[in-house]
Structure 1
Amino acid sequence: MKIIEIDDLRFEPFISYDQIKKRIRLIGIDINLRYEGRRPVFIGVLNGCFMFMADLMKEIHIESEMSFVKLASYSGTAQGNIAELIGVGLDLKDREVIIVEDVVDSGNSLKFTIDALRNEGAKSISVCSLLLKPSCLQHEFDNIEYVGFEIDKEFVIGYGLDYNGYYRNLKDIYKEVTLGD
């Protein structure tokens, strides 16, 4: 078992790339069936979604478009007050949108993203997230339609998820090992 040590933190393997690929394949099948003939727009939320979005789009066989957005905050961190959504680049008026997220945690960023895309005139908005932390949610969502894995409050890295900007490139997902584990 490969343990990764970063600063004073230790991480152990949590979700393998094989597990991720299998789950993405199933999500892709579901989206292909549901959106057949409907031409959805996939909007990936950077930076964390890039690996998930790339693998997901390989499983999408319906006609669709995609773009990426980035959230800008007043303090420069995800925990800061979100100031704007940058980079939509497509006309979303009367379009069906699928937001692609790496992880939905508190839901603050997701709520902001949904509100911003509604203001762009999206006809409908569904959410596809690799990871969901239900116990951390501070908002209610009725449009989180596709979830790769539900996890607890684990601090995770790899497969697009980072620690201070590092370790997004890991193929698997690792979780922090706390004392006593």
Structure 2
Amino acid sequence: MKQLEIDNLHFELMIDENQIQKRIRLIGTDINHRYEQKNPVFIGVLNGCFMFMTDLLKQVVIPCEISFVKLASYEGTDQGKMSELIGLGIDLQGRDVIIVEDIVDSGNSLKYTIEAIERQLPASVVVCTLLLKPECLQYDFENIQYVGFEIEKEFVVGYGMDYNGLGRNIPDIYKNIIV
């Protein structure tokens, strides 16, 4: 089993790059079919989505637009308090929007992102996430349309996800293990 260490935390391979790419091809095929005549807007939530969104959009062959946003949190408060969505510089009124996330766990940031986008009155909003932790969700989301993999309450790194800023560039996904 492949393992790695980041800042004294130990990780073992959870999902390899080939599995990730196979799943992304399937999601891309579905998006191409569903949005064939619609010209959707893909909105990636940085920083974690960059690898997933890049590989996903290599599979999307229909006309589309791409934008990125970043969430800012209130300083000195818990992670559940978002202050603003930075970078949404595109008019979404009447558009079909696909939010691209690396991972959805509690759902706090996703809820904030969806609400900010819905204020612009898009035609539709769906979510495409590489990883979903169903046990951790604090909200019900009817618009999570595409899920790469459902995982347990594990701490993961790689493929855009980090630990202390490290590990985003790893092509596989690793889960934390207790040594």
Gap change, CA 1:98 and 1:78, over 3 Å in 2: farther
* Number of equivalenced pairs: 179
Q: 1:3-18 to 2 correspondence within 5 Å?
A: 3-18=3-18
Aligned-CA RMSD value:
1.4
Gap change, CA 1:92 and 1:78, over 3 Å in 2: farther
Q: Contact conserved, 1:75 with 1:81, CA < 8 A, in 2?
A: no
CA distance in 1 between partners of 2:119 and 2:38 (Å)? 21
Deviations 1:140-168 (A, max 9, x none): 00000000000000100000000011110
TM superposition shift of 1:77? 8.3
Q: TM-score, normalised by structure 1?
A: 0.95
Q: Does 1:151 align with 2:151?
A: yes
CA distance in 2 between partners of 1:163 and 1:43 (Å)? 23
Task: Tell me which amino acid in the other structure corresponds to 2:57.
Answer: M
Gap change, CA 1:99 and 1:152, over 3 Å in 2: same
CA distance in 2 between partners of 1:47 and 1:130 (Å)? 14
CA distance in 2 between partners of 1:133 and 1:84 (Å)? 24
**Identity across matched positions, percent:** 65
What SS class does the counterpart of residue 102 from structure 2 fall into? strand
Q: Contact conserved, 2:80 with 2:108, CA < 8 A, in 1?
A: no
TM superposition shift of 1:122? 1.4
Q: Does 1:87 align with 2:87?
A: yes
What SS class does the counterpart of residue 85 from structure 1 fall into? strand
Q: Does 1:59 align with 2:59?
A: yes
What SS class does the counterpart of residue 79 from structure 2 fall into? coil
Runs of 4+ in 1 over 2 A off after TM superposition: 75-78
- What runs of 5+ residues in structure 1 fail to find an aligned partner? none
TM superposition shift of 1:2? 2.6
Q: TM-score, normalised by structure 2?
A: 0.96
TM superposition shift of 1:75? 2.3
Deviates more, 1:68-77 or 1:45-54: 68-77
Gap change, CA 1:160 and 1:128, over 3 Å in 2: same
Q: Look up the match of 1:28.
A: 28
- What runs of 5+ residues in structure 2 fail to find an aligned partner? none
